[in-house]
């Protein structure tokens, strides 16, 4: 028995060390989760700003060099950020398949497929999808008006994202750090 | 064939089923006519007929495949890649040219603003015409309009559907590419015809069938195309910027166009043009062509018919309207 106590004694010191490391690790992880969640706000804002830029490019092309959508999307995609480049190229190839689908169906299908890499909220997606229902309808003037309305709506979403970023980012970061501390205290 | 196949992909399912046999290579499909609530009509080898849902030829209207408004709308949507707006300028003139060079005539309700056609909507009739390049159809004529290494200014005269644009297209290609002289005279034949720079003003896109500015037909290696440009401005622009040896235009008919042609000729260009009329006499009933004859704008007048099929060269006249020769066969 004595032998065992003397054998376990140094282990007790090591145990508390492991515990301390574990608690630190947990606290840091909680903090990081908070930071990671807060980054989604920046990501959404960044993507919305670039989305607006994409549609400004589309509007410019339609205004000065009207072309069928597959060609137009392919052409403007070269000037876009990689994520959007992929989306617009996919739109271009889907539109050329001629599978007896409506334009709005193809539009929604592609954006829905790619939404996970964009950190968009449901209402951001709603704005994009609603636009697809009227895009391509009637003449050039109508397309430009539609795009202007969309750009205006995206601008609204950008303002919303900015506000949410300000409040939400701090909230998640604080929650993460505080959660970490709380757990650390709880387990100490 | 490839061109026909890519157009076939643009039809809705029900029409694809009906049209499938007629898109096979053995048929010389010239035209498809779609009218809302009317039978689907095809023109093959010069003959027009209706077909049923399975593509069989029918005589009675009640057995024929009836076209619905949705089918017309869907066809247009697929043909234009969901982008009818991109064809707005062409649609104002009643047609659109697809990327495979097909020309689609449209009819429906014209939307007029300030006395000008703004658009056509809804569209109730489509006339899908398949352009055929008949390479070599201009060889015979070329021998009559080529003199001392220059092209004589020529007016091709024919009623609609007699192949004047096809002939003009082949003349442009041969003049542009150059090649061997085809002549009865053995000495002449051994000569090589030098290629000339040709400028084409294609106001309605019929000659080149341009898609995004690129000609879908072979117009030769020395040809510059001004697509969708009004003929008068186009001819002036070509003379000033592209230094063409020959200027080609389709369907002329106004005094302004004649003035622009004269301007081009005074700058050393030859003119190739076409006009609607069934004979030289009928042509001369139009004031503008009386003037053209008086001023000897054209050195050759070529009258076409479809007596032995589209593109039959009937007669060739000189600048005074004197008959040079009667041919009565295709080139």
Query: What would the pLDDT profile of B257-276 be if each residue is shown by its tens digit?
Result: 999 999 999 999 999 999 99
Chain A CA closest to residue B211: A67
Q: What is the mean pLDDT of residues A42-48?
A: 91
Q: What is the mean pLDDT of residues A160-173?
A: 83
Q: What is the mean pLDDT of residues B100-114?
A: 88
Instruction: Kindly report the average pLDDT of chain B as a whole number.
Output: 88
Tell me, what's the pLDDT at A148?
95
Of B10, B84, B121, nearest to A98 by CB-CB distance is B10
Q: What is the mean pLDDT of residues B106-120?
A: 90
Tell me, what's the pLDDT at B248?
96
Q: What is the mean pLDDT of residues B214-233?
A: 91
Size of interface A-B (CB pairs under 8 A): 52
Given a cut of 70, is residue A83 above it in pLDDT?
Answer: yes
Q: What is the mean pLDDT of residues A9-30?
A: 75
Does A95 touch chain B if contact means CB atoms closer than 8 Å? yes
Tell me, what's the pLDDT at A6?
46
- Residues of chain B with pLDDT > 90, as a percent, come to 52
Phi, psi of B226 (to 5 degrees): -100, 105
Tell me, what's the pLDDT at A19?
80
Of B13, B85, B212, nearest to A139 by CB-CB distance is B85
Given a cut of 70, is residue A5 above it in pLDDT?
Answer: no
Given a cut of 80, is residue A31 above it in pLDDT?
Answer: no
Does A136 touch chain B if contact means CB atoms closer than 8 Å? yes
Largest CA distance in chain A: 94
Measured between CA atoms, how close is A162 to chain B, in angstroms?
Answer: 35
pLDDT one-digit tens code per residue, B189-205: 556 788 999 999 998 88
Given a cut of 90, is residue A150 above it in pLDDT?
Answer: yes
Measured between CA atoms, how close is B314 to chain A, in angstroms?
Answer: 42
ipTM value greater than 0.85: no
């Amino acid at each position: 028995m004595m032998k065992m106590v003397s054998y376990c004694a140094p282990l007790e010191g090591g145990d508390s060390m492991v515990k301390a490391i574990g608690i630190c690790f947990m606290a840091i992880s909680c903090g990081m989760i908070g930071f990671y969640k807060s980054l989604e706000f920046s990501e959404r804002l960044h993507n919305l700003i670039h989305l607006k830029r994409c549609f400004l490019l589309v509007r410019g092309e339609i205004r000065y060099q009207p072309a069928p959508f597959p060609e137009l999307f392919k052409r403007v995609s070269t000037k876009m950020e990689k994520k959007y480049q992929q989306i617009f190229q996919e739109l271009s190839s889907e539109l050329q398949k001629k599978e007896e689908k409506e334009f709005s169906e193809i539009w929604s299908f592609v954006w829905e497929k790619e939404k996970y890499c964009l950190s968009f909220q449901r209402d951001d997606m709603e704005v994009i999808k609603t636009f697809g229902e009227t895009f391509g309808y009637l003449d050039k003037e109508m397309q430009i008006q539609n795009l202007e309305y969309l750009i205006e709506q995206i601008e609204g979403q950008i303002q919303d994202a900015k506000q949410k970023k300000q409040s939400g980012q701090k909230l998640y970061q604080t929650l993460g750090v505080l959660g970490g501390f709380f757990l650390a205290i709880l387990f100490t | 064939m490839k061109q026909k196949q890519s157009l076939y992909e643009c039809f809705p399912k029900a029409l694809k089923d009906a049209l499938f046999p007629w898109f096979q290579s053995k048929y010389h499909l010239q035209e498809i006519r779609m009218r809302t609530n009317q039978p689907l009509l095809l023109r093959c080898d010069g003959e027009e007929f209706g077909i049923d849902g399975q593509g069989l030829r029918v005589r009675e209207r009640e057995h024929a495949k009836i076209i619905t408004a949705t089918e017309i709308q869907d066809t247009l949507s697929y043909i234009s890649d969901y982008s009818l707006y991109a064809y707005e300028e062409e649609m104002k003139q009643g047609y659109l040219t697809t990327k495979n060079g097909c020309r689609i005539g449209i009819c429906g309700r014209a939307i007029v603003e300030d006395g000008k056609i703004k658009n056509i909507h809804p569209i109730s009739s489509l006339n899908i015409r398949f352009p055929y390049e008949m390479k070599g159809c201009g060889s015979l004529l070329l021998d009559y309009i080529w003199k001392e290494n220059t092209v004589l200014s020529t007016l091709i005269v024919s009623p609609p559907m007699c192949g004047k644009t096809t002939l003009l297209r082949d003349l442009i290609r041969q003049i542009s590419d150059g090649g061997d002289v085809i002549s009865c005279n053995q000495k002449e034949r051994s000569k090589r015809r030098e290629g000339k720079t040709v400028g084409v003003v294609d106001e309605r896109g019929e000659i080149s069938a341009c898609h995004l500015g690129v000609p879908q037909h072979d117009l030769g290696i020395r040809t510059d195309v001004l697509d969708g440009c009004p003929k008068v401005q186009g001819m002036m622009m070509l003379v000033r910027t592209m230094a063409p040896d020959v200027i080609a235009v389709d369907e002329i008919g106004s005094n302004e166009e004649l003035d622009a042609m004269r301007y081009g000729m005074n700058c050393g260009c030859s003119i190739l043009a076409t006009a609607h009329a069934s004979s030289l006499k009928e042509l001369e009933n139009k004031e503008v062509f009386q003037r053209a004859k008086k001023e000897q704008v054209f050195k050759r007048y070529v009258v076409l018919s479809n007596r032995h099929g589209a593109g039959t060269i009937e007669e060739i006249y000189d600048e005074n309207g004197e008959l040079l020769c009667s041919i009565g066969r295709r080139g």
